Amino acid sequence: MTVSDTAEKIKSMEIRGAGRIARAAAEALRDHALSMQAQNTAAFRQDMERVAALLVSTRPTAVSLPNAVHFVMAGLAAAKTADEARNGVVHRAEQFIHSSQHAVGKIAEFGARHIRDGDVILTHCNSEVALGCMIEAHRQGKEIEVFATEVRPRNQGHITIRTLNDAGIKTNFIVDSAVRSFINDVDLVIVGADAVTVNGAVVNKIGTSQVAHTAAEARVNVIVAAETYKFAPRTVVGELIQIEERPPGEVLPDEIARTLPNVKVRNPAFDVTPPEYIDLIVTEQGAIPPQMAYVIIREYLGWEIGEFNLAGGSPADFNGE
Ligand code: RI2
């Protein structure tokens, strides 16, 4: 698959989920580096930067994507020849993919410890790490039951219920607006994240903040499962996470929208859950209260304030294992 194929698939959400997007981008950069015929480092670097920018431009919110791309592109930093540059990119891409898969497994292991026998869990959207925690708890013999939301407009809940069904986990499928009706039957909310900011706010699928607010009101704990590469280094220097607004046709068919000239359809794909609604963020480095997000950014993404190059940003030094 070429870089443009991968970029197109990420944009159309054929490849989706913050972790999967990041690994797909690393694979695309690796394959592009391997296929390139460039004779000199400058030409190699220029072309890699072009495709890296294309990948990063596909979806603006999941910070795992630029974090993965920066990590892989750091393989070019010390290269003196095109071959060294190619090897650097391939090595770091492989390292990212491996570390990411390792992180998903570790989070499942740590997250499962927060799930008790008999727990009823509510999840929103489709997060491989959030599901990983539930599947691991089930594998350990804990009897759990899950409430999974539909997740309008893209219906990622359908993927979630298939995975839970296939794992043999008892599951209830509900529309997004039914969360408050069932929250008193729920012991624990577990969701994923597309980005975690320096103050511990979690950016995740639209509706997550309503779920977390409802859970807070009902005194139900909320756990966020997030690999360290979903923490957003540049929020340390005040950069805001851009919330992707997707085409209106995902919410209302264009032929209906055309008949309603006074109606504007809004379709933000993500929202922000403030740290006070989150009890714990489970990363592959262990669980932290959201207020400790800065420590993850500093310790595991390798960013320090002095390293920030505000013009372009320096590569995140991902150290996920
Ligand atoms: P994992 C997804 O975004 C969802 O918001 C999900 O919670 C988050 O990425 C994290 O997913 P989208 O691509 O990386 O469906 O945990 O818009 O799989």
Q: Where is 170: in which H helix or E strand?
A: strand 170-174
311: which 2 tokens? 């013009």
d(CA 265, CA 186): 32
Q: Is 200 in the pocket of ligand 1 (CB under 6 A)?
A: no
Q: Is 284 in the pocket of ligand 1 (CB under 6 A)?
A: no
pLDDT in tens, 61-115: 999 999 999 999 999 988 999 999 999 999 999 999 999 999 999 999 999 999 9
What is the average pLDDT across 197-207?
Answer: 98
Is 244:61 a contact under the CB 8 Å cutoff? yes
d(CA 189, CA 147): 9
Pick from 233, 266, 238, 271: nearest CA to 252: 266
What is the average pLDDT across 258-267?
Answer: 98
Q: Is 206 in the pocket of ligand 1 (CB under 6 A)?
A: no
pLDDT in tens, 103-115: 999 999 999 999 9
6: which 2 tokens? 């991968």
Q: What is the pLDDT of residue 45?
A: 94
Q: Where is 148: in which H helix or E strand?
A: strand 145-149
Place 303 in a pLDDT band, splitting at 50, 70 and 90.
low
**Percent of the chain predicted with pLDDT > 90:** 90
Q: Where is 272: in which H helix or E strand?
A: strand 270-273
113: which 2 tokens? 């410890």
Of 134, 155, 204, 223, the one to substitute when testing ligand 1's pocket (max ligand atoms within 8 A of C-beta) is 204
Residue with tokens 């690393």: 26
Of 59, 99, 125, the one to substitute when testing ligand 1's pocket (max ligand atoms within 8 A of C-beta) is 125
Of 155, 205, 271, 278, the one to substitute when testing ligand 1's pocket (max ligand atoms within 8 A of C-beta) is 205
d(CA 182, CA 176): 11
pLDDT in tens, 263-275: 999 999 999 999 9
Comparing 210-214, 286-290, 310-314, the range with the smallest average pLDDT is 310-314
Residues in the chain, total: 321
> Residue 9 Cα, ligand 1 centroid: separation in angstroms?
15
Residue 276: CB atoms within 10 Å: 13
Residue 321 has pLDDT above 70, yes or no: no
Query: Which amino acid, one-letter code, is at 197?
Result: T
What is the average pLDDT across 20-24?
Answer: 98
User: DSSP code of 192?
Assistant: -
pLDDT in tens, 208-255: 999 999 999 999 999 999 999 999 999 999 999 999 999 999 999 999
Query: Which amino acid, one-letter code, is at 141?
Result: G
Active site residues: 125, 194
Residue 309 has pLDDT above 80, yes or no: no
Q: What is the pLDDT of residue 320?
A: 35
What is the average pLDDT across 149-176?
Answer: 98
Q: Which atom of ligand 1 is nearest to the CA of 16?
A: 13
d(CA 118, CA 128): 22
d(CA 60, CA 50): 17
Residue 312 has pLDDT above 50, yes or no: no
Pick from 178, 185, 120: nearest CA to 152: 178
Q: What is the pLDDT of residue 209?
A: 98
> Residue 143 Cα, ligand 1 centroid: separation in angstroms?
25
Q: Is 204 in the pocket of ligand 1 (CB under 6 A)?
A: yes
Pick from 160, 308, 170: nearest CA to 237: 308
Tell me phi and psi for residue 316, to 5 degrees. Answer: -70, 135
> Residue 259 Cα, ligand 1 centroid: separation in angstroms?
33
